[in-house]
Structure 1
Amino acid sequence: MIDPLDDSLLMKMSRGMLPRALLLVFAGIAGMNGSRADQKRPNVVFILADDLGWSDTTLYGTTKLYRTPNIERLAQRGMTFTRAYASSPLCSPTRASVLTGLSPARHGVTAPTCHLPKVVLKPVQATSGSPLQKATIPESVSRLDTKYYTLAEMLRDHGYATGHFGKWHLGASPYSPLEHGFDVDVPHHPGPGPAGSYVAPWKFKDFDHDPLIPDEHLEDRMAKEAVKFLEKHHNKPFFLNYWMFSVHAPFDAKQELIDQYKKMIDPKDPQRSPTYAAMIESMDDAVGTLLDTIDRLGIADNTIIVFASDNGGNMYNEVDGGTATSNAPLKGGKATMYEGGVRGPAIVVQPNVIEAGSKSDEIIQSSDFYPTLLEMLSIPRRPGQEFDGLSVAAALKGGKLDRDAIFTYFPHSPGVPDWLPPAVSVHQGDWKLIRIFHGGEAGEHRYKLFNLKQDLGERNNLADQSPERVEQLDALIEQHLVDTNAVRPFPNPKFDPSKYDVALEGKATLKGGASAAPKASPRGRPVAGWQNGGTCKLSIANGALQVQSTGSDPYLTFRFPKPVSAGPLTLQIRMKSGSSGQGQLFWKESGHAYGAERSQFFDVKHDGIEHRYTIEVQPSSPVQSIRIDPSRGSGTIEILEMQLTGSDGKVIRQWVF
């Protein structure tokens, strides 16, 4: 008997592919089974926040400042995942994985370059790189190719009205949402974030604020546009793809909210930006607007809602005199391979199917959403259609997943704190291995191994202690790269060892090469290229350069292998201090000694909390060396990362420990 709900037949009918006689038979059967034909598949609302970190909501008990009652309200309706991973630590690769169900290693979008003019549809293998890099960096695909059969196309072909609202960042026309299965695209903007600001006036090409609301907030407006779509299509199946602009830069918000949060700031809390807190609240308000509308239209019981983030929280841009947010207790943030870069909040709701208020510790990833929704909607895959993700429907019913591992492929090296060279990682159960491509000796890979159950903050690299575990997990990585036909980094023939510094702590190779973490060194012996001086000793511990000061004149000096050209220089330092007094940066120019005329003071916060400092100087002659006086008193200073850039913004030197 022909099923009147058989989608393959419905698709053929809509395309005029069935004989007239069969159409009449089909229509007759549909009439006899009207009650089944009237059944409507569940609606789908997919909410993807931008740069929302694991600790940026109240879901996991990790924030005292932010308020997200509507996200909590959403969680009370469905299942919250504690181990939800983005497919990438940056946005565009994750977005492509959501729509295709494929890994960035396969679809080739590995960097957020989709707003740039150059169209790249296949990743390009690099043959060389900067002398600062041990490995080459492939060129990312810069558009989501229309050859992929996206989630939106699948649902549209099965009778769904499809609408995209908010950020896209996968390419302008002819690679916009309108070419990837969406009937509606608002504001039809290809950029990496809001055009100009969140608070009107905006700078979108074809989208303006309501003239009656001169200071309209962009997320409020996006929610209103989404409500119009819901109201128009609530009587038929719909797919609302609401990809928020929030909480991506630029950092601005409603002034009244900023003023409210200013009164709530705890200076000792690493989350202490009133602007960012206000942005979180406006994001949460938009979630509330969608929930209110779904309830008002009476469609809540027949609507699947997914909420997730495209990568970890942004810890590195400066907002209100400090970092935007903190992902603690996770290490790192957006653009890093550590947990803070890829783990985020996730909720899935389906009333009467998923237990309300439930939680799952199962590992899920962005590429899982496509196959999961197909199973939830009873929609078959196309013949031959394969996914790198898998359906997590079993977890949504409270069960365990039959999954071996997940992979994060990120062959890039953004100049941010918690930086890593091009890398790929695998999660298997409690274990996580990061392969740093060709980061070891003689072109060998370097590894970081963590047991996340025992060490959620990824402080203890166990690679040296567990070589068999490294080998086993690295074999999984290798198989993933082979299966996806990934374009990989190669050893860089232009690499100059004299321009590269990396602490040896945690270093390991599959051939057994290993180095123990260096101990505190005596005076006169460099540590990671830095010479101690004055009243301090240097050592490496816990991923930081430890400066142990015993008096009022601690300092450390670094001599460049080749003088750095004259001109504006910017040194960024990320550190914690338990000492006292001002910091000072000296630089030694050719033909001159260190002196006050070639120095710059900077204020240091000695509260034991991580802070980022930016010191700008303008030497008139080539610079031979720099000296940092991090304090004026006794105590311990932890320098987590430093980066020196020139006037063109290019990295001259980077130090990681």
Structure 2
Amino acid sequence: MAAQTARAETLGRGADRDIEIGEPLPYWNTTGARVRRRRLQGNPTYAAMISNLDTNVGRVADALRRNAILDDTVVVFTSDNGGLHSNSAPTSNEPLSEGKGWLEEGGLRVPMIIKPACLRDRDAVQGGTTVHTPVSGLDLFPTLLELSGLSQLPERHLDGRSLAGLMTHPGPDIDELSRRALFWHFPHYNYGGASPCSAVRRGRWKLMRRYETATESLFELTSDPGETLNLAATEVSHRADLGRLLDDWLRDVHALVPRPNPSRQFDEYDVGSDGTTYERP
């Protein structure tokens, strides 16, 4: 980690620098505490971890190559969420908004790299191709089945779609997958500062529904991946269409949706450093 620490110092950064203090954390037991967001990369410990990960991915690939099975092996590199950007704040997802535990793009949008095995038709898979169509981790199971030459098991991957076609005949598959709606539901408070939310994306449009404030936000992600411009008030038809999709999906999966508790009572118990009164049930 010495090299990463020296690099951070050279750049004028460090584990406790480039932190932005935001809104109060939404819990009664976090008296006076606020969300802390990292705005620039600069944590040497995190950098050392990423370097170690990179080295060991290379070791796996080298082992497959030495044993002459690399061409017969499907390798997938991805993540289940964006980097943790708040509170302990080891990383930043800029220019994407927020991070792990949030339904903003910084928490959802991650790379997925697939090296397929060379199957019967070695010319069928186009290497080095970048596909911008949004996909989901739910797609991995049916994808691996198809790339392995196995039959699909639709009763076991109800929400996933095989992505094999994106690597062999991408035209029709990209068109079909680009029209698919993707859904997220996180009806909880997050230790990093996020509050209960659901979201749906179809194509370039994304709707977020926040339950604590009973508000919706609409973003056009092609031109605004950082979700800086809320278009909910002007793009009424897109908001309504996505809202209906989200309503139908939440009902279809029997999602638990938080609602206000009308009997909740509060007792004042502290005043923060900025004069804000914090209460608890």
What TM-score do you get using the length of structure 1 for normalisation? 0.35
Aligned with 2:240 (options 471, 478, 481): 471
Q: Is the CA contact (8 Å cut-off) linking 2:85 and 2:99 kept in structure 1?
A: yes
Aligned residue for 2:31?
none
RMSD: 2.6
Query: What number of residue pairs does the alignment pair up?
Result: 247
Counterpart check, 1:564 vs 2:269? yes
Aligned residue for 2:209?
435
Aligned residue for 2:192?
416
Q: Is the CA contact (8 Å cut-off) linking 1:450 and 1:462 kept in structure 2?
A: yes
Aligned with 1:370 (options 138, 141, 145): 141
CA distance in 2, matches of 1:480, 1:402: 19
Aligned with 1:358 (options 103, 112, 129): 129
Q: Is the CA contact (8 Å cut-off) linking 1:315 and 1:326 kept in structure 2?
A: yes
Aligned residue for 1:34?
none
Counterpart check, 1:325 vs 2:68? no
Alignment of 1:128-207 (within 5 A): none
Describe the shift of the 1:264–1:652 C-alpha distance in structure 2 as closer, same or farther (beyond 3 A).
farther
Compare the two structures and name the one with the higher strand fraction: 1
Aligned with 2:11 (options 243, 246, 265): 265
Counterpart check, 1:458 vs 2:163? no
SS at match of 2:250: helix
SS at match of 1:368: helix
Task: State the 1:432 CA deviation.
Answer: 0.3
Task: State the 1:317 CA deviation.
Answer: 3.6
Deviation string 1:91-117 (CA, Å, 9 cap, x unpaired) is: xxxxxxxxxxxxxxxxxxxxxxxxxxx
Aligned residue for 1:316?
86
Counterpart check, 1:485 vs 2:254? yes
CA distance in 1, matches of 2:105, 2:60: 30
Counterpart check, 1:344 vs 2:110? yes
Aligned residue for 1:380?
151
Aligned residue for 1:284?
54
CA distance in 1, matches of 2:79, 2:157: 24
List runs of 5+ in structure 1 lacking aligned partners. 1-254, 441-445, 500-561, 572-584, 587-624, 628-643, 645-650
Q: Is the CA contact (8 Å cut-off) linking 1:394 and 1:401 kept in structure 2?
A: no
SS at match of 1:314: coil
List runs of 5+ in structure 2 lacking aligned partners. 19-38
Describe the shift of the 1:315–1:385 C-alpha distance in structure 2 as closer, same or farther (beyond 3 A).
closer
Q: Is the CA contact (8 Å cut-off) linking 1:265 and 1:274 kept in structure 2?
A: no
- Matched AA of 1:394: G
Alignment of 1:504-653 (within 5 A): 563-565=268-270, 585=273, 625-626=275-276
- Matched AA of 1:375: E
Q: Is the CA contact (8 Å cut-off) linking 1:407 and 1:425 kept in structure 2?
A: yes
Task: State the 1:338 CA deviation.
Answer: 0.4
Q: Percent identity?
A: 32
- Matched AA of 1:346: M
Task: State the 1:284 CA deviation.
Answer: 0.9
CA distance in 2, matches of 1:271, 1:349: 28
- Matched AA of 1:422: P
CA distance in 1, matches of 2:130, 2:162: 17
Q: Is the CA contact (8 Å cut-off) linking 1:331 and 1:458 kept in structure 2?
A: yes
What TM-score do you get using the length of structure 2 for normalisation? 0.78
Q: Is the CA contact (8 Å cut-off) linking 1:371 and 1:387 kept in structure 2?
A: no
Task: State the 1:261 CA deviation.
Answer: 3.2
Aligned with 1:394 (options 155, 165, 172): 165
Task: State the 1:313 CA deviation.
Answer: 0.6
Task: State the 1:341 CA deviation.
Answer: 0.6
